[in-house]
Amino acid sequence: MVHAIKEKENSTVQVALRIKPLTADDLVNLPSRFQRNVLSTTEFASNQVIVHGEKKQTWTFDKVFGPESSQKDIYEQTVKNMVDKFLEGFNVTILAYGQTSSGKTYTMGTLNEYSQLPETKGIIPRSMATLFSYVNSTQFKSRKFVIKVSFVEIYNEDLIDLLAEGDYESRPPVTIREDSKGNMIWSGLQEIKVNSIEEVMRHLMRGSMNRQVGATEMNSQSSRSHAIFSVALSQQKFVTDFRTKKNEEEGDWITVTSKFHFVDLAGSERVSRYVHYFSSYLA
Ligand code: ADP
Ligand code: MG
């Protein structure tokens, strides 16, 4: 499982690799010839992975996490400082990429049986907790924050608003079109204002449940659908330009907006034909 992470100001994309441990389910469900670790980390370099195939090969990423790595490790070493960047006004996107069952949804932390527990919750709940701890801190007392979330699924050729009310069939469709300047425009997607981590989690859970409606077999559906959870942040800051103003009471309110996208991609075994949707949405 691989995600692209945006970390340093001067580098646009970073890639971290996480090796999934064999789970109890894998031991039951996987044919025994697949029940072995083909990937391992090396004690000599923390950003290399060894592939034990016919011959041994080594690959290098920005970071490599072994099967023993915790959700907390992943968050603290790849994502946490991007929440700081987000607050500074940068747009951030995290993509979880990998085959079906490689741990994308688990790592992202959308709905699964672990997503609420302190030890096993994933990237989204942890990022949102960090964000709200900033928003509520005295450090930013003078700023006014508006946070909105949206959650969209791309399934076959359909765009589905996972936060829309009503049953699956009666929801207004989300559409995507190109204007005369070549900009892609999305419409029909709700952005819901949130005031606390609890509210975010409620929407995340509700949306994740909607993601599973209409599929006879959950796994086959989620392996073919992409889900994008987005957070839009608008901050009003009071700033004083000391070149023109004399004291701190004189100043102007400025608005800084930024977006954070968490993308749980379809299984990489079928990903390529949907790439054009993302490039427009995440632009
Ligand atoms: P994907 O979304 O890539 O198809 P999932 O996140 O659903 O894969 O993971 C498949 C299964 O493996 C799930 O039951 C999940 O809880 C479990 N799993 C994934 N990663 C880990 C991990 N690092 N530790 C323990 N269990 C994991
Ligand atoms: Mg999944």
Ligand 2 is an ion; residues with CB less than 5 A from it? 104-105, 222
Which residues are near ligand 1 (CB < 6 Å)? Answer: 20-21, 23, 25, 98, 100-106, 112
The pLDDT-based confidence of 279 (bands split at 50, 70, 90) is low
pLDDT in tens, 177-225: 888 887 777 788 899 999 999 999 999 988 888 876 544 445 555 667 8
Distance from residue 4's CA to the centre of ligand 1 (Å):
18
The pLDDT-based confidence of 73 (bands split at 50, 70, 90) is very high
Q: Whose CA is nearest to atom 1 of ligand 1?
A: 101
Distance from residue 101's CA to the centre of ligand 1 (Å):
6
> In this predicted structure, what is the pLDDT of residue 268?
79
> In this predicted structure, what is the pLDDT of residue 197?
93
> In this predicted structure, what is the pLDDT of residue 278?
59
> In this predicted structure, what is the pLDDT of residue 30?
78
Q: Please report the DSSP string for 136-183 in residue order.
A: TSGGGTT-EEEEEEEEEEEETTEEEETT--S-GGGSPPPEEEE-TTS-
Q: Whose CA is nearest to atom 19 of ligand 1?
A: 103
> In this predicted structure, what is the pLDDT of residue 277?
57
Q: Whose CA is nearest to atom 17 of ligand 1?
A: 103
C-alpha separations of 216 from 68, 135, 162, 208, 221 in Å = 33, 41, 18, 15, 8
> In this predicted structure, what is the pLDDT of residue 100?
85
Distance from residue 182's CA to the centre of ligand 1 (Å):
39
Using DSSP's 3-state secondary structure scheme, residue 235 falls into strand
Atom of ligand 1 nearest to the CA of 113: 16
Q: What percent of the chain has pLDDT over 70?
A: 83
Among 112, 138, 134, smallest CA distance to 123 is for: 112
- Has residue 2 got a pLDDT over 60? no
Q: Which ligand is nearest to the CA of 104?
A: 1
> In this predicted structure, what is the pLDDT of residue 157?
74
Distance from residue 20's CA to the centre of ligand 1 (Å):
7
pLDDT in tens, 21-64: 988 887 888 788 777 778 888 888 889 999 988 899 999 999 99
> In this predicted structure, what is the pLDDT of residue 60?
94
Distance from residue 104's CA to the centre of ligand 1 (Å):
7
pLDDT in tens, 93-139: 999 999 888 899 999 998 666 667 888 899 999 999 999 999 999 99
> In this predicted structure, what is the pLDDT of residue 184?
72
CA dist., res. 108 & res. 272, Å (int): 21
Most confident of 47-56, 87-96, 158-167: 87-96
- What's the mean per-residue pLDDT of the chain? 84
- Has residue 8 got a pLDDT over 70? no
> In this predicted structure, what is the pLDDT of residue 68?
94
